[in-house]
Amino acid sequence: MAEEGDVVVWEWFTDHGRWRPYQPNIVRGIEENYGRTLVLRLGDIDPSMTMYEIDFNTRQQMRLVTGTVRSIRRRTFPSTSAPGQGIDWQWQDDYNWCPYDVDISCIIEEAYQHPFGSIDLSKTVTCLPYELDLVAMTQQRSGSGFVRNIRRVCLPAPGYPRIAPAQCSPSESMESMEADSQDCGSPTLTRPSTLQTPSQQQSTQAAGTAPDDSNSSQGSDCSTSASSSLGRAAKKHAGKRAASRKSVAATSGVRATVAWTSPPDPNAGTSSGSGGIGTRSSLPRSVSVPTTIAGVSGGASERPSLSSGGVMSSSSTTSCLAAAAAASRMTRSQSTPNSIVARPAHAAGAKLSPVMTAITGLLLSTAVPVKLHSTPIPIFTPPPISRGSIRPVEGIKPSKKKQKTSLIRVDSPDDVMKKYVTKVKKIPDEECPICYEKLADGSHYTEDTDDIVLKLSKCGHLFHRGCLHAMYSCGPKDGSIQCPTCKTIYGVKHGNQPPGRMDYHIIPPSLQGFPECSTIRIIYDIPPGTQGAEHPNPGKRYSARGFPRHCYLPDNEIGRKILKLLIIAWERRLLFTIGTSATTSESSTVVWNEIHHKTEFGSNVTGHGFPDPNYFDNVLSELASQGVTEDCLKD
């Protein structure tokens, strides 16, 4: 249970399987509106977040422009942890400082507060291949020996919001236990031995039943803190629990999320207590169980069975959760939530209104339905694949070692225009679509008062010659032009994609919706570098986040055709560009160039996976808008 002085941190789930915290000022705004509204526009907190909104009910963040949905979560950390002290640990990439995850920052800060001098993250629960020297402030990668600088900085005051005394009362809901179980830097949590309603938990604790600590983290104070706080609350309110056991137990709308850490203890037996949920390895990492439970006071013999509308027994709970485990088919790498939540609509012993009393009586006389829903977790990577099972794509040559770093430039606009335009003798009373001046008045992009009007040969749109020359000079100067009105391309369009490598091959696992064929895996790898003359800021460094990036297509006729077109787009430097990231708002970084890829292998939670019946038509349309069509395959 969270204590007074603990800080609250809200985080969002990235495409690469990491939890990233919001900025402290945004966290304060989210926390202020938590419990007051269902949907919150983050632009009301920070203008830079105008494109995002969060749904507290589904715990998701949505990007309004694209509809991309990401999971969010709320956690609390003690005042002695890194976020509690307003400390942020960062590492330096090729040109910028990047923050560590909150859990990693907590581990580094704990080592920094003790005279260790260094810490090997590969020997912690993070299992990251880095060794940190906290005296020289450097990070060294195991194996390669590559060294980067690190630093310890203070977050802007007042930092993350702190929990007020009113929020820490022992009578708060079970949701506070979720925050308390995660209130330290270590990602390893302690799982209770049983999944119980609040009245059952009170009975167990009042009777002195010891909690199951066989899965607790070694060397972590997180579990000790949570257990001690729950023990103090149990002693203080033992009288209330005894009274609750004799009162009416009516709980409706209970939603429980059970999760544990990686890896589960192989030696752990079944959980103790009559409400145990079986062995630790028999359930998925996260199973969301919305159910309706109603019961009456008295002995066990007086309680009706589940089929007759009574309390759901421990054996029923076990079988339901096991069924959800079989349905979810999640692997260890797909576990993201780490929480134990139970939200009763009415605590045991609470006084019910006449309406609720009638509803409770109706529930007791009818069968109680139990619905199981697995927590939607994106699956970005395929199962482990041996090197011998990877094979080349049939009918497509293997990728080249290197991509061209530059293209032949044509700097003279006149040499380009004479291929695609004709001179207009009779000038109509129209405006130029580029400068919005009258065609007869000339362009303000040139000092020539006798500016002529040119007509594009295919689409027939009219422009000032000076305007077309200015438009071409602002582009890559690759010998092609694109009509700004209808987007018709003249010549072969090229982009300003930074140099890198594109690999592709076949892997055995199948994508969702394509069980009859294998999968084409595409790997893009672009390193950071310096911007060239064709980029927005020549001479300035650019970053390349999230590389190598893995994308997937079905190994069938349409998949192979799209792969061939993507190879052409890659060679023309059209798939990526340098700009501002729509996700992180980071400038001068490598971003996608409006040709969508499927980066989610085994699910479609984020919208970047299969099944997606419209994807093939959409990506072909996006490629055509860049001048890459099926006609290019005939050359």
Query: What's the pLDDT score for residue 369?
Result: 58
Which of 318, 343, 374 is where one domain is finished? 374
**9: CB partners within 8 A, 6+ apart:** 21, 22, 27, 74, 75, 76, 77, 83, 102, 160
Residues 564-583 have pLDDT tens digits of 999 999 999 999 999 998 88
Its sign, for the CA torsion 233, 239, 242, 248, is negative
Q: How far apart are CA 367 and CA 292, in angstroms?
A: 10
Report which of residues 355 and 488 the model is more confident about.
488
Mean of pLDDT values over 327-349: 42
Is residue 4 predicted with pLDDT exceeding 70?
Answer: yes
Is residue 183 predicted with pLDDT exceeding 70?
Answer: no
Mean of pLDDT values over 340-348: 42
Could you tell me the CA-to-CA distances from 527 to 34, 55, 96, 541, 595 in Å, in that order? Answer: 40, 36, 15, 11, 20
Query: What's the pLDDT score for residue 362?
Result: 60
Q: How far apart are CA 122 and CA 420, in angstroms?
A: 61
Give the total number of structural domains in the chain: 3
Residue 585, domain member (yes or no): yes
Both tokens of 235, joined, read: 């002693």
Residues 207-225 have pLDDT tens digits of 444 434 433 333 344 344 4
Same domain, 506 and 626: yes
For residue 263, give the DSSP letter: S
Determine if the peptide bond prior to 611 is cis (ω within 30°).
yes
* pLDDT band for position 133 (cuts 50, 70, 90): very high
Same domain, 365 and 312: yes
Tell me the CATH number at 517: 3.30.390.130
Is residue 265 predicted with pLDDT exceeding 90?
Answer: no
* pLDDT band for position 257 (cuts 50, 70, 90): very low
Report which of residues 138 and 127 the model is more confident about.
138
Residue 418, domain member (yes or no): yes
Both tokens of 327, joined, read: 């349905």
Same domain, 508 and 468: no
Q: How far apart are CA 553 and CA 551, in angstroms?
A: 7
Question: How many of the other CB atoms lie within 10 Å of CB of 518?
Answer: 19
Query: What's the pLDDT score for residue 116?
Result: 74
Query: What's the pLDDT score for residue 60?
Result: 92
Backbone angles phi, psi at 313, to 5 degrees: -70, 170
* pLDDT band for position 555 (cuts 50, 70, 90): very high
Q: Tokens 């099926």 — which residue?
A: 630
Query: What's the pLDDT score for residue 414?
Result: 83
Same domain, 484 and 537: no
Question: How many of the other CB atoms lie within 10 Å of CB of 285?
Answer: 23
Same domain, 331 and 308: yes
Residues 272-316 have pLDDT tens digits of 333 333 333 333 433 444 443 333 333 433 333 333 344 444 444
Mean of pLDDT values over 493-509: 93
Residues 425-454 have pLDDT tens digits of 888 888 898 888 888 888 878 776 667 899
Helices (H), 211-305: 222-236, 238-245
Query: What's the pLDDT score for residue 531?
Result: 92
Which of 490, 508, 526 is where one domain is finished? 490
Residue 423, domain member (yes or no): yes
Backbone angles phi, psi at 212, to 5 degrees: -85, 115
3-class DSSP state of 504: strand
DSSP characters over 97-153: EEEPPHHHHHHHHHHHHTTT-EEEGGGSTT--SEEEETTTTEEEETTT--EEEEEEE
Question: How many of the other CB atoms lie within 10 Å of CB of 164?
Answer: 9
Is residue 112 predicted with pLDDT exceeding 50?
Answer: yes
Residue 106, domain member (yes or no): no
Paired residues of 456 in beta bridges? 421
β pairing state of 39-41 and 52-55: antiparallel
* pLDDT band for position 477 (cuts 50, 70, 90): confident
Same domain, 512 and 417: no
Q: How far apart are CA 125 and CA 122, in angstroms?
A: 8
Domain residue limits at 573: 495-634
Residue 400, domain member (yes or no): no
Same domain, 509 and 612: yes
Residues 55-80 have pLDDT tens digits of 999 999 998 877 888 999 999 999 88
Query: What's the pLDDT score for residue 125?
Result: 84
Residue 504, domain member (yes or no): yes
Same domain, 547 and 630: yes
Is residue 44 predicted with pLDDT exceeding 70?
Answer: yes
Is residue 137 predicted with pLDDT exceeding 80?
Answer: yes
Is residue 123 predicted with pLDDT exceeding 60?
Answer: yes
Residues 362-420 have pLDDT tens digits of 655 555 555 555 567 888 899 888 888 999 998 888 876 555 555 567 778 888 888 89
Same domain, 529 and 613: yes
Could you tell me the CA-to-CA distances from 62 to 43, 72, 373 in Å, in that order? Answer: 12, 10, 21
Which of 490, 520, 543 is where one domain is finished? 490
Tell me the CATH number at 480: 3.30.40.10
Same domain, 270 and 314: yes
Mean of pLDDT values over 141-168: 83
Residue 80, domain member (yes or no): no
For residue 165, give the DSSP letter: G
Helix (H) / strand (E) containing 464 = strand 462-464
Query: What's the pLDDT score for residue 89?
Result: 92
Q: Tokens 């260890």 — which residue?
A: 332
Residues 243-252 have pLDDT tens digits of 444 343 333 3
Q: How far apart are CA 568 and CA 564, in angstroms?
A: 7
Residue 553, domain member (yes or no): yes
Could you tell me the CA-to-CA distances from 253 to 250, 339, 371, 377 in Å, in that order? Answer: 10, 18, 11, 23
Residues 514-550 have pLDDT tens digits of 999 999 999 999 999 999 888 888 999 999 999 999 9
Same domain, 524 and 417: no
Q: How far apart are CA 408 and CA 410, in angstroms?
A: 7
% the chain with pLDDT above 70: 64
Q: How far apart are CA 282 and CA 300, in angstroms?
A: 27
Q: How many helices (H) and strands (E) does the chain have?
A: 12, 28
Its sign, for the CA torsion 305, 307, 311, 317, is positive
Same domain, 419 and 364: no
Report which of residues 347 and 552 the model is more confident about.
552
Helix (H) / strand (E) containing 315 = helix 314-328
